[in-house]
């Protein structure tokens, strides 16, 4: 038997439960986070129209750069002002 040292962070995270899915978007505030990839705004404009049509209030946010995680302040603002968020993470 060989004993080795764990090379990992040893932080095997406990499974996190998802937030409860809303029954309907009507009356809710939905955040749209543009990660600053080219033409992401075009896609989000259309998503915004559709969400508004469903009765949701849409807040728009933009990351300073797509290469880095969203700043803590921005994440905090979204978390405290929105009921749901859609992140346009795509090329």
Partner 1 sequence: MMSSDLPPVPPLPDGLVAVVKRDCPTCELVAPVLSDLHERADLTVITQDDPHFPAEADWVRHDADLALSWHHDIETVPTLLQVSGGVGGQRTVGWSRSEWEQLSGLDGLGRGLPDWRPGCGSLSVDPAHAGELAVRFSGSSLRSRRVELASLEDEWEAMWDRGWSDGLPVVPPTEARVLRMLEGTTRDPSEVVAVVPPSLVECTVEKVAVNAVMAGCAPEHLPVAIAALEAVCTDEFNMHGVLATTMSVGPVLVVNGPVAGRIGMNSGINSLGQGNRANSTIGRALQLVVRNVGGGHPGGVDRATFGSPAKVGFCFAEDEAGSPWTSLAESRGWRADQSTVTVFTGESPRILADERSRTPDSLTRHLAQALQATVSPRMMLGMDAMLVLSPEHMARYADAGWSRDRFMEELSAELTFDGDDLLAGVGGIAAGLPPTAAGQKIPKFRPGGLLVVHSGGPAGLFSAIIGGWANGPRGSDPVTREITP
Q: Which residues bind partner 1 (CB under 8 A)?
A: 1-11, 64-65, 67-69, 91
Report how far residue 91's alpha carbon sits from residue 75's, in angstroms, rounded to the nearest whole number: 21
Q: How far is the CB of 29 from partner 1 (least distance, A)?
A: 28
Q: Measured from the CB atom, is 22 or 64 closer to partner 1?
A: 64
Q: Which residues of 55-77 are buried (b: 16+ CB within 10 A; e: fewer)?
A: ebebbebbbeebeeebeeebeee
Q: How far is the CB of 85 from partner 1 (least distance, A)?
A: 19
Q: Measured from the CB atom, is 6 or 17 closer to partner 1?
A: 6
Cβ of 36: how many Cβ atoms within 10 Å? 15
Q: How far is the CB of 36 from partner 1 (least distance, A)?
A: 8
């Amino acid at each position: 038997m060989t004993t080795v040292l764990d090379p990992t962070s040893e932080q095997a995270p406990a499974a996190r439960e998802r937030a409860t899915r809303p029954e309907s978007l009507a009356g809710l505030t939905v955040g749209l986070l543009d990660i600053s990839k080219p033409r992401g705004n075009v896609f989000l404009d259309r998503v915004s129209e559709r969400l508004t049509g469903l009765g949701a209030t849409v807040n728009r946010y933009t990351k300073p750069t797509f290469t880095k995680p969203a700043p803590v302040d921005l994440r905090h603002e979204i978390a405290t002002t929105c009921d749901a968020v859609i992140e346009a993470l795509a090329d």
